[in-house]
A and B are shown apart, each in its own frame.
Chain A
Amino acid sequence: MINSSLKQLGHLLASKQISSVELTQSYLQRMAQHNPGINAYITIDEEKSLAQAKAADVSIAAGNAQALTGIPIAQKDIFCAKGWRTTCGSKMLETFISPYDAHVISQFDAVGAVNLGKTNMDEFAMGSSNETSYFGGVKNPWDVDRVPGGSSGGSAAAVAARLCAAATGTDTGGSIRQPASLCGFTGLKPTYGLVSRYGMIAFASSLDQAGPMAKSAEDCALMMNVMAGFDERDSTSLNRPVEDYTRGLAAMTGDQPLKGLRIGLPKEYFAEGLNADVAKVIETAIAEYKKLGADIVEVSLPNNNLSIPVYYVLAPAEASSNLSRFDGVRYGHRAAEYNDLLEMYMKSRAEGFGAEVKRRILIGTYVLSAGYYDAYYLKAQQIRRLIAQDFVEAFKYCDVIMGPAAPSTAFKVGEKTSDPVAMYLEDLYTIAVNLAGLPGMSIPAGFAQSSEGKPLPVGLQIIGNYFDEARMLDIGHAYQQVTDWHQQMPAGLE
């Protein structure tokens, strides 16, 4: 059952072969057993989860079940959930109980899904390894000496270790796709504006986007049906007709379901910086797509090498302002002793934030300062447009872009913590997608062997044009019909 798809779980619930309470309890038991070793969850609240499961069972009995009714979903601890502690991975919010629901949370509530718990994450989503969390790092279920990626590392480990049916994540520079690659599951970052950011604690507002993290493309499509949609409380939310993201999945069968699909391979994604083992897996996956009927074309994203420097100007700039509200005045951490207002601010923030958060606040404050704004912030905004233009150009020659989601497989805990720039390079293939506001997805494409001989997952990234999520999910689904990488589980967790 732990390997069942969301659709299968839905059938089991609808046909009363299992109740939501039983399903939720079985996950809670797995969490009690495995979470201490993996640290995927920051907050587990059995009582709350089971109360939701009970309510879901009532709905199902009354014949009101929807696709995800009664299914336990793990929520990244970046989403405010009423009555739940919502920490964003930070000491600053260690005791913060949200009095309101994020849009994403209320969407899952509305369909009767069960909130299984709040998952661990890099502090304020700043990190690529989950090691910046105040609540301790998350272990990669494939090799507990390695990181799960980040920032949505808790959700990633929970999905990989089957400690939830599916999970939510957020992706500012790769925080869904890179952990999806490192932990071997399917993760989608939608087009900017498709999922409301209301109640999602802001890191970099112009880049942040929530998305599903699940075993398969089909599961992600069902999650998208719940998460996407216009919300007037987010001014950047797009008012578009409601879509059924599962609509094309059934057609992905037969001999060559992707006949005529043009896949663009950016030469910059296969250049220096890409691990050879990862490259091999990606090439094999591309070969599989050829068999499914796709044509391969080479494209170029000439400004991709600028995406990391641009990102590390813009994201910290926005973050430095977004994180100003954590001042110890109204909620969150306040220093125990201080002599005046200034000291209260300084001590509260010095104690409440971790090193990576402080580093980015410093960078962001610097690039927005008088005398530096034009050279850094304004220049970065201009280059951001060039990077987006690269994709416009590339999509003239292809329908989707494919490549690696991360340059390497999961690295060792502590391996990159002392070298921020090496850590930042983890997002070499994902950041440009956020800067352009495009949708991007990572699907399991195989394994590379670690030096200790353990299998480590490799993700294939699929980048679509704006609002092409349904098509990307079809493309992922077609691959998952002929491969079983997405059904592989880490050893010892059966």
Chain B
Amino acid sequence: MQWEVVIGLETHTQLKTNTKIFSGASTTYGAAPNTQACEVSIALPGVLPVLNKQAVECAIKFGLAIDAEIAQRSVFSRKNYFYPDLPKGYQISQFELPVVGKGKITIQVPAGKSTEAYEKVIHITRAHLEEDAGKSVHDAVDGMSGIDLNRAGTPLLEIVTEPDMRSAAEAVAYAKKLHELVQWIGICDGNMQEGSFRCDVNVSVRPKGTEKLGTRREIKNLNSFKFMQQAIEYETQWQIETLEDGGTIQQATVLFNPDTGETRAMRSKEEANDYRYFPDPDLLPLAVTEEDKSRVRAEMPELPQALQARFVGEYQLSAYDASTLTASKAVADYFVETVQAGADAKQSANWVMGAVSAKLNAEEKTIADSPVTATQLAALLKRIGDNTISNNAAKQVFEGMWAGEGTVDAIIEAKGLKQVSDTGAIEAIIKEVLTANQAMVDEYKSGKEKAFNALVGQCMKASKGKANPAQVNELLKNMLG
């Protein structure tokens, strides 16, 4: 039987606010335990929550970015359960009325071994604001568990998709796209190691061609795309094998173990809590007006889709290049800055996606940390454009700039890479080469085209790479008659 996997994602994005969602405590990561826990974070008797407006703006930004309905009125509810890292005994979340309703995100699924790259629209069901819990620490104090409430009350936007994805590749493409988007609009730092972006993946399988969804299992808390890919592939295979062996799937929450590459059930739904949701009487319903939306919209950067269209229209880039250059806001900004500094758009695109990107990857740096700034890159590209240096020489100059050896012109000067375009000088070099390589000349004249290229190479070598290659070609052709 042919099986089809059905995947939906719930992503907890930690919002980039200065303070917690319901108190003034700092949200900075990595502080000593409980040093960022004010009386509200600790849930002392008598304390009350006050909604952080910055968190609401983040939610509105996201709603606008995915073209979603933003609720004029949404409600905070209490999700009641006992756990030591949940200081109030309830989590404040949005249940029946979330702030962001239906929206959509277009993803680019890359080509696989046997599939071509394609685009797909993923539908967003909802996104709601909620507070994070604290952390249990099991190894800090001997024989006891500690509680760190620094994270308690950190604002989260939980983004829920429809079960639209049909492969691990689609799920990962969606997660990556969402990861880029939330950083692009500045609502999340995207740091997956620190837990700023965590995905729960719902996976079920069904016979291909059928409508009815299979029973799903939820893989919790995936914090890397690689693990997500592995977890979904393992889980899918496990479900298919279980069904093919005549078994049934129980709805369950599972954890992925990166060491074994396997998923394992944490708890089954029968043991699930009754969370006794009810509207939090300490908080008024959240009202979002048209004015709020306009104000937030005005503060938002140009979105990736809009920028791609502009790159294609204005700079005549290919759709592929435009998409690659808008993979992150930092890259897009770098590219635009290079072009605005006077460099050719197509050439800028090639360099940003080529040499710059390769160097960054090799050194595991982000473009924000690039030692060669956009302005410096533009200066280099201008020297190619005005024939001061060849493309090959430019690569050497770029290396020099990366290593901090000085400005473009200083490096060209120091390395003596200035291109020779003087006809007389090039002709002199060609004459020397022809004299010294009579055998090749004879081969060429006997009809071996390859010998021509060899002669060009010899000329370039004799000029120490400085001769203008186009001129060498042209003059050599003339001189060989």
- Interface flags for B179-204 (1: CB within 8 Å of A; 0: not) read 00000000000000000000000000
Across the interface, which residues of A come within 8 angstroms of B90, CB to CB?
321, 324
Interface of B is mostly: loop
User: How distant is the Cα of A369 from the Cα of B276 in the complex, in angstroms?
Assistant: 5
| B269-290 interface code vs A (CB 8 A; 1 in, 0 out) | 0000010111001111000000
Cross-chain contact of A234 among B48, B80, B82 (Cβ < 8 A): B48
Known: A201-B45, A235-B51. A318 touches B281 (CB 8 A): yes
> Of A327, A345, A368, which contacts B278 at CB under 8 A?
A368
A321 with B276, Cβ < 8 A, contacts A235-B284, A236-B284 known: yes
Known A324-B88, A325-B45, A327-B82: A369·B284 in contact at CB below 8 Å: no
Compute how far the CA of A323 lies from the CA of B276 in the bound complex, rounded to whole angstroms: 14
Contact of A325 among B49, B88, B147, B277 (CB under 8 A): B88
Known A321-B80, A321-B90, A324-B90; judge A200-B46 contact (CB<8 A): yes
What A residues does B405 contact at CB under 8 A?
none
Q: Are A98 and B276 within 8 A (Cβ)?
A: no
B70-98 interface code vs A (CB 8 A; 1 in, 0 out): 00000000101010100111100000000
Q: Mark A298-325, 1 if CB is under 8 A from B, else 0.
A: 0000000000000000000110110111
Give the contact stretch, choosing among B36-44, B244-252, B463-471.
B36-44
Task: Please state if B46 and A202 are interface contacts (CB–CB under 8 Å).
Answer: yes
| A80 & B44 in contact (Cβ 8 Å cutoff) | yes
Interface residues as binary, B33-73 with A (CB distance below 8 Å gives 1, 0 otherwise): 00000010011111111110000000000000000000000
B79 closest partner in A (C-beta): A321
A192-204 near B? 1/0 per residue, CB < 8 Å:
0000011111101
Contacts of B46 in A (CB 8 A): 79-80, 98, 102, 197-202
Q: Which of A95-138 contact B (CB under 8 A)?
A: 96, 98-100, 102
Instruction: Collect the chain B residues with CB atoms within 8 Å of residue A370's CB.
Output: 274, 276
Q: In the bound complex, do residue B84 and residue A341 qualify as a contact, i.e. CB atoms below 8 Å apart? A: yes
Query: How far apart are the CA atoms of A320 and B276 in the complex, in Å?
Result: 10
**A329 on the B face (CB < 8 A):** yes
Instruction: Tell me the bound Cα distance from A370 to B272 in angstroms.
Output: 12
- Counting CB contacts under 8 A, is A147 at the interface? no
- Asked if residues A324 and B45 are in contact (CB atoms below 8 Å), the reply is no
Q: How far is the CA of A431 from the CA of B284 in the complex (A)?
A: 22
Asked if A235 contacts B39 (CB within 8 A), the reply is no
Q: Is the CB–CB distance between A80 and B282 below 8 Å?
A: no
From residue B203, how far is it (CB to closest CB) to chain A in Å? Answer: 26
**Contact yes or no, A199 B43, CB < 8 A:** no
Question: From residue 153 to 167 of chain A, which have CB atoms closer than 8 A to chain B?
Answer: none
For A198, give its contact among B42, B48, B274, B276 (CB under 8 Å): B48
A86 beta carbon closer than 8 Å to chain B: yes
Residues of A within 8 A of B283 (CB): 235
- Closest A residue, CB atoms, query B39: A100
Task: Chain B residues near A205: list those with CB within 8 A.
Answer: 281-282
The reply to whether B276 and A325 form a contact with Cβ atoms under 8 Å apart is no
* Interface residue A396 (Cβ < 8 Å from any Cβ of B): no
Measured CA separation A321–B91 after assembly (Å): 10
Cα of A201 to Cα of B282 in the assembled complex, Å: 12
For chain A, give the interface size range. Answer: 35 or more
Least CB separation from A207: chain B residue: B281
Interface residues of chain A: helix, strand, loop or mixed (majority)? loop
Would you give the shortest CB distance from A150 to chain B, in whole angstroms?
19
A135, B274: Cα distance in complex, Å = 35
Residues of A within 8 A of B276 (CB): 320-321, 365, 368-370, 373
CB neighbors of B among A404-459 (8 A): none
Are the CB atoms of B82 and A331 closer together than 8 Å?
A: no
Known: A327-B89, A377-B278. A368 touches B80 (CB 8 A): yes
Q: Is A206 interfacial (CB 8 A cutoff)? A: yes
A80 to B39, CA, bound (A): 12
Q: Is the C-beta of A45 less than 8 angstroms from some C-beta in chain B?
A: no
A204–B42 alpha-carbon span in the complex (Å): 20
The yes or no answer to A330 lying at the interface (CB within 8 A) is yes
A317 to B276, CA, bound (A): 10
Residue total for B at the interface (Cβ-Cβ under 8 A):
28
Which residues of A are found within 8 Å of B48, using beta-carbon distances?
Answer: 197-198, 233-235
Contact (A321, B278) CB under 8 Å given A233-B50, A235-B50: yes
Chain A neighbourhood of B89, CB < 8 A: 321, 323-325, 327
Bound CA span A318–B284, Å:
15
Residue of A nearest to B23 (CB): A233
B49 touches A98 (CB 8 A): no
Question: Is A472's beta carbon under 8 Å from chain B?
Answer: no
Q: Does A88 contact B (CB under 8 A)?
A: yes
CB-defined contacts of A206 to chain B, threshold 8 Å: 281
Closest to B273 in A: A370
- Chain A contacts for B282, CB-based, 8 A: 202, 205, 235-236
Report B285 CB to chain A, min CB distance, Å. 11
Chain B residues whose C-beta falls within 8 Å of the C-beta of A79 in the assembled complex: 46
B37 CB to nearest A CB, Å: 10
Instruction: Check A351 for interface membership: any CB of B closer than 8 A.
Output: no
> A331 and B44: CB pair below 8 A?
yes
B44 touches A99 (CB 8 A): yes
Among B78, B87, B89, B281, chain A packs the most CB atoms within 10 A around the CB of: B281
Contact of A80 among B45, B281, B284 (CB under 8 A): B45
How far, in angstroms, from A267 to B111 measured CA to CA in the complex?
A: 79
- 1/0 per position for A231-263, CB-CB distance to B under 8 A? 011111000000000000000000000000000
Kindly list chain B residues whose C-beta atoms are within 8 Å of the C-beta of A345: 82
A376 to B282, CA, bound (A): 20
* Distance between A81 CB and nearest chain B CB, rounded to angstroms: 10
Interface centre among B50, B278, B283 (most CB of A within 10 A): B278
Docked complex Cα distance between A218 and B259 (Å): 74
B151 to chain A, nearest CB (A): 15
A88-B88 Cα distance, complex, nearest whole Å: 17
CA distance A493 to B94 in the complex (A): 55
Query: In the complex, what distance in Å separates the CA atom of A206 from the CA atom of B389?
Result: 76
For residue A224, which residues in chain B have a CB less than 8 angstroms away from its CB?
none
Assembly CA distance A200 to B282 (angstroms)? 12
A321 contacts B50, C-beta separation under 8 Å: no
A-chain residues with CB within 8 Å of residue B50 when the two chains form the complex: 232-235
A71: Cβ under 8 A from any B Cβ: no
Chain A residues with CB under 8 Å of B284's CB are: 235-236
Known: A235-B51, A329-B84, A365-B276. A98 touches B281 (CB 8 A): no
> Which residues does chain B contribute within 8 Å of A368, judged by CB atoms?
80, 276-278
In the bound complex, CA of A204 to CA of B282 (Å): 10
Contact A325 B87 (CB under 8 A): yes
- For chain A, residues 365 to 403, give those with C-beta under 8 angstroms from any C-beta of chain B: 365, 368-370, 373, 377
Is A235 a contact partner of B49 (Cβ separation < 8 A)? yes
The B-contacting residues of A in range 40-84, CB under 8 angstroms, are: 79-80
Q: Note all chain A residues with C-beta closer than 8 A to B42.
A: 330-331
Chain A's closest residue to B284 (CB) is A235
Please tell me if A93 contacts chain B, counting CB pairs below 8 Å.
yes
Complex contact B147–A330 (CB within 8 A)? yes
Complex Cα–Cα for A345 and B81 (A)? 12
Known contacts: A100-B44, A234-B48. The answer to whether A373 contacts B147 by CB under 8 A is no
Please give me the residue from chain A that is nearest to B81 by CB atom. A324
**B278 adjacent to A373 (CB under 8 Å):** yes
CA distance A234 to B43 in the complex (A): 14
Give Cα A206 to B42, complex, Å. Answer: 22
A96 to B45, CA, bound (A): 10
What are 19 A-B residue pairs whose CB atoms fall within 8 Å in the complex? A99-B44, A198-B47, A200-B46, A201-B46, A202-B45, A204-B281, A235-B282, A235-B283, A236-B281, A236-B284, A318-B281, A321-B80, A321-B278, A324-B82, A330-B42, A368-B278, A369-B276, A370-B274, A373-B278
Shortest 6 CB-CB distances between A and B: which pairs? Answer: A324-B89, A206-B281, A368-B276, A205-B281, A199-B46, A201-B45
| Additional A-B contacts beyond A199-B47, A324-B88 (17; CB < 8 A) | A93-B45, A98-B44, A100-B39, A197-B46, A201-B45, A202-B45, A202-B282, A235-B48, A235-B284, A317-B278, A320-B276, A321-B276, A327-B82, A331-B44, A365-B276, A368-B276, A370-B274
